[in-house]
């Protein structure tokens, strides 16, 4: 594993004492997409939905405030933001003052939009509404009792099989694991693959997902690889892939990619989030 030049990921860092928008570290999407043969127009739509559970600041009189924040980064953005830099950026807000939550939301949205190169939607939930936060497991047929048809050391699209009658279903696994390409730390997620088309062989899909267990990939790239591989190998008429990763450093990242904007949408937080 290596480091991204100038990124705080995988390096000792000190927490900031004052607000600093310059802490955000953008990463270009293009190099990893080129590995998947993606250039020009994308074969999917979607967002990367971030949840920030550790956000605090001060209001105009100086009182401490807190919120849960959600950021929706369009998948068409030319850049993502490296997760540890987001954690440090948010931490730098702890002593900053804002006249209102709306003023803070505007700063967050403007800063993230500048870093990613696309308009980022930001929502803030204050403590008064925290009890409304729902938890729901992704609906669908679980793959977790299936015995994989193989146990590959890396993702192998050639393992995927689809044949037989047309179905519309969602196949779900709560056993997904990959590793950070910089630090080597494990990342865990629940994955939902919703599609219509020839039925995907479940043992082959379980084997394909098993191959990610030691695969070094950012969350967003893993989901895009799944989308491209399933679309290429199984040729569904419609496809949506979502991964809901467990939080690290107060942040969870939940990429969602769909071949049809009308086919599904990002789900609610899972019990592990």
- Cα gap 272→21, rounded to integer Å: 30
Catalytic residues: 180, 187
The dihedrals phi and psi of 225, each to the nearest 5 degrees, come to -65, -45
Structure tokens belonging to residue 142: 């679980």
Q: Would you give the distance in Å from CA 25 to the centre of its chain? A: 17
Length of the chain (residues): 273
| Residue closest to 215 by CA, chosen among 239, 243, 234 | 243
Each residue of 11-44: b (16+ CB within 10 Å) or e?
eeeeebeebeeebbbbbebeebbeeeebeeeeeb
Q: How many other CB atoms are there within 10 angstroms of residue 64's CB atom?
A: 10
- Rounded alpha-carbon distances, angstroms, from residue 170 to 62, 189, 260: 48, 16, 15
């Amino acid at each position: 594993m290596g480091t991204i030049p100038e990124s705080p990921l995988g390096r000792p860092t000190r927490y900031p004492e004052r607000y600093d928008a310059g802490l955000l570290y953008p990463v270009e999407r293009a190099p990893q997409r080129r590995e998947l043969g993606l250039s020009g127009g994308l074969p999917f739509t979607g967002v990367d939905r971030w949840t920030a559970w550790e956000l605090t600041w001060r209001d105009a009189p100086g009182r401490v405030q807190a919120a849960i924040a959600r950021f929706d980064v369009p998948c068409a953005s030319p850049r993502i933001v490296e997760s540890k830099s987001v954690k440090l950026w948010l931490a730098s807000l702890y002593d900053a003052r804002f006249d209102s939550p709306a003023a803070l939301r505007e700063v967050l949205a403007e800063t993230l939009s500048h870093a990613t190169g696309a308009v980022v939607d930001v929502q803030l939930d204050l403590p008064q509404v925290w009890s409304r936060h729902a938890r729901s497991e992704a609906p669908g047929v679980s793959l977790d009792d299936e015995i994989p048809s193989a146990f590959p050391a890396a993702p192998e699209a050639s393992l995927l099989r689809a044949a037989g009658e047309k179905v519309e279903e969602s196949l779900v696994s709560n056993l997904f694991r990959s590793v950070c390409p910089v630090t080597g730390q494990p990342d865990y997620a629940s994955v939902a693959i919703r599609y219509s088309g020839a039925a995907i062989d479940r043992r082959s899909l379980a084997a394909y997902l098993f191959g990610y267990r030691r695969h070094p990939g950012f969350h967003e790239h893993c989901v895009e690889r799944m989308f491209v591989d399933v679309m290429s190998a199984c040729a569904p008429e419609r496809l949506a892939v979502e991964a809901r990763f467990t939080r690290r450093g107060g942040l969870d990242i939940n990429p969602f990619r769909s071949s049809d904007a009308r086919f599904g949408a990002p789900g609610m937080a899972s019990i592990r989030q």
